[in-house]
Amino acid sequence: MRVTEHVHAIKIPFKLMISPGVLMNRLVYAYPIYGKRIGLIDSGVAASHNIIFDYLRQTGRSPKEIATLVLTHSHPDHIGGAYEVVAGSGCQVAAHIEDKPWIEDIESQFRARPVLNFHSLVENSVKVDVVLQDDGDLELGEGQILKVLHTPGHSKGSISLFFPEDGALFTGDALPKWGGLPIYEDVLASLKSLRKFQKIEGIKVLFTSWDEPRFEDIYGLINQGAKYIQHIHELVCSERAKSPSADAVELGARVLQALGFPETALSPMVVNSIKAHLKVSDRKDLLAP
């Protein structure tokens, strides 16, 4: 769907295996920015190019017009369709240097972060042509510029993008959703990234990877994301106080239960998030200055 003058949103459904034989319905968004050429933010999972290319054709554009594919980070639901997008368009790929190794060598990512159905989500490795830096500009053509923000926490190389022309902020997975599964590598880095969002002036529409575009209470949603991280932290600390000898797996199960998730939702990614909280368990209020 067209959201602003230049930005369109494409919803891509997929299934994530969270435990052997257990699939969870998920969704992710890809965002084409229309100008003389097209800049595409994220590529969805394997075979998502069919959904993306069909949408472009339905709106009178061609896949060959994609000049740049920007990957907000290296996880399967964001890079999974990149290989076929590049093959079908000839576009260049842009990403942060910290996530470049996992994009260019998907097997190294699978070894380090073994998502159970990883190989059904990611088509192949792709070469990163443009290395992005914090506070840099990425030109899309015709004066269209994406402002690049390094927003780690969910991954080391997570980036967010601000498109001043439409007042559009793209956060990838850097902004957590209240009530969502906790998936991040570094709690304090995540909160620092959220504080970076709060300093951006002129945000008119928020584009996350997991929700429909939002025009209202954007800064409130950012605050809510920070409060959710603090809420999870309090749960982790509380459960650890009850059972000091419990490991991250046991604590994770208890935290998910408190959040209302089924036991089957406890994946290695969630366990890593619990470990991230345990690293800073000496700090009770993570939101304090």
pLDDT in tens, 45-73: 999 999 999 999 999 999 999 999 999 99
The DSSP output letter for 283 is -
Q: Name, in order, each residue with C-beta under 8 angstroms of 42's C-beta and a sequence gap of 6 or more.
A: 28, 29, 30, 31, 70, 71, 72, 78, 79, 172, 209
Which alpha helices (H) appear in 59-198, and where do they start and end?
Answer: 76-79, 82-89, 100-104, 106-112, 118-121, 187-198
Q: What's the pLDDT tens digit per position in 157-210?
A: 999 999 999 999 999 999 999 999 999 999 999 999 999 999 999 999 999 999
Residue 276 structure tokens = 């991230």
Q: What's the pLDDT tens digit per position in 148-158?
A: 999 999 999 99
Q: Which domain does 47 fall in, by range?
A: 10-221
CATH number for the domain harbouring residue 63? 3.60.15.10
Residue 266 structure tokens = 């406890």
Tell me how many domains the chain contains. Answer: 1
The answer as to whether 161 is a domain residue is: yes
This prediction has a pTM of 0.96
The answer as to whether 281 is a domain residue is: no
Q: How many other CB atoms sit within 10 Å of the CB of residue 179?
A: 10
Q: To 5 degrees, how large is the angle CA 130–CA 136–CA 142?
A: 75
Q: Name, in order, each residue with C-beta under 8 angstroms of 111's C-beta and a sequence gap of 6 or more.
A: none
